[in-house]
Amino acid sequence: MNSLTALQQLPANLDKHRLPNHVAVIMDGNGRWAKNRTLPRIMGHQRGVDTLKDLLRCCQDWGIPALTVYAFSTENWGRPEEEVKFLMTLFERVLRRELDEMMTENVRIRFIGNLNSLPQSLQDEISYSMDKTATNSGINFSVATNYGGRQEIINACQKIADQVKQGLINVNEINEKLFESYLYTSGIPNPDLLIRTSGEMRLSNFLLWQMAYAEIYVTQTLWPDFDRTEFQKALLDYQQRNRRFGKL
């Protein structure tokens, strides 16, 4: 089932002036989706790619300027070796296959995370796609791969400490703005909305700093089943929230 042709316009019950500027997604539940069908877990990951493709297109269609998705956490290395291997190969294959279309659609893709420890062939594909789409002016699409929020914060601290050591930054110049500029997401506004599929109510080490004031939406729907209608529900829920940011 694919909702590519349905819901191409922003649904009438959504206010186009109150859309999130940045949506972050924890794409969870691929394994359970497969298990429910007595399929191997990897089939769930495979189907998850189709869901992601449609969500990316939907964000473009509906005018959401930034999408960040969690594809592989620093903790996911703890999974069975064959699943990890499958995922790495899948990322590479999908990236190669989709690059032309992303160019046509003006998508700017970037990968965030500790990319140095990914397989070399995937790293090559990643740098190629990031360079190639760097000047595209469409949606900012970030894929968190070997990403961990704590690791990202430590990485920023190390870089800043090094600058201090070299005398390029004074300690009293370290503020939120400077710190953010050392995060992988530098230049992209913090997410307004975090969606997590398949029911778990946790962050699982995703964008810890950036999520400080994100609205959180958790759905029981498993990632491969998360279609445009589900996304519409999440946005509707978001638009009914009262974002106070600590004020009255």
The residue ranges that bind ligand IPE (CB under 6 A) are: 26-32, 70-73, 76, 87, 198, 200, 202, 204
- 134 to each of 114, 130, 192, how far by Cα in Å? 19, 6, 23
Instruction: Give exposure, 138-154, as e/b (b: 16+ Cβ within 10 Å).
Output: bbbbbbbbbbbbebbee
For Mg ion, which is the closer residue by CB, 28 or 227?
Answer: 28
Task: Check if 136 is active-site.
Answer: no
Q: What is the 3-state secondary structure (H, E, C) of 209-241?
A: CCCCCCEEEECCCCHHHCCHHHHHHHHHHHHCC
Q: How far is the CB of 168 from ligand IPE (least distance, A)?
A: 35
For ligand IPE, which is the closer residue by CB, 36 or 158?
Answer: 36
Task: Check if 124 is active-site.
Answer: no
The pair of three-digit structure tokens given for residue 236, joined into one six-digit string = 């509707």
Catalytic residue chosen out of the listed positions 28, 192, 225, 227: 28
For ligand IPE, which is the closer residue by CB, 129 or 197?
Answer: 197
Give the span between the Cα atoms of 199 and 219, in whole angstroms. 5
For ligand IPE, which is the closer residue by CB, 52 or 66?
Answer: 52
Using CA atoms in the order 154, 160, 164, 169, what is the torsion angle rounded to 10 degrees? -150
Alpha helices (runs of H) in 119-207, residue ranges in sequence order: 120-133, 149-165, 176-180
The pair of three-digit structure tokens given for residue 133, joined into one six-digit string = 């789409």
Check binding of 54 to Mg ion (CB under 5 A): no
> Of 96, 148, 149, nearest to 124 (Cα)?
96
For ligand IPE, which is the closer residue by CB, 29 or 191?
Answer: 29
Number of residues that bind Mg ion (CB under 5 A): 1
Check binding of 44 to Mg ion (CB under 5 A): no
Catalytic residue chosen out of the listed positions 21, 50, 76, 205: 76
Q: How far is the CB of 198 from ligand IPE (least distance, A)?
A: 6
What pairs with residue 147 in β-bridges? Answer: 73
Q: Is 14 exposed, middle or buried (0-12, 13-18, 19+ CB in 10 A)?
A: middle
What pairs with residue 142 in β-bridges? Answer: 68, 110
Q: How far is the CB of 29 from Mg ion (least distance, A)?
A: 6
Q: How far is the CB of 111 from ligand IPE (least distance, A)?
A: 13
Q: Which partner, ligand IPE, Mg ion, none, binds residue 204 by CB below 5 to 8 Å per kind? A: ligand IPE
Check binding of 69 to Mg ion (CB under 5 A): no
Check binding of 28 to Mg ion (CB under 5 A): yes
Stretch that binds Mg ion, among 12-20, 22-30, 80-88, 162-170 (CB under 5 A): 22-30
Active site residues: 28, 76
Q: Which residues bind Mg ion (CB under 5 A)?
A: 28
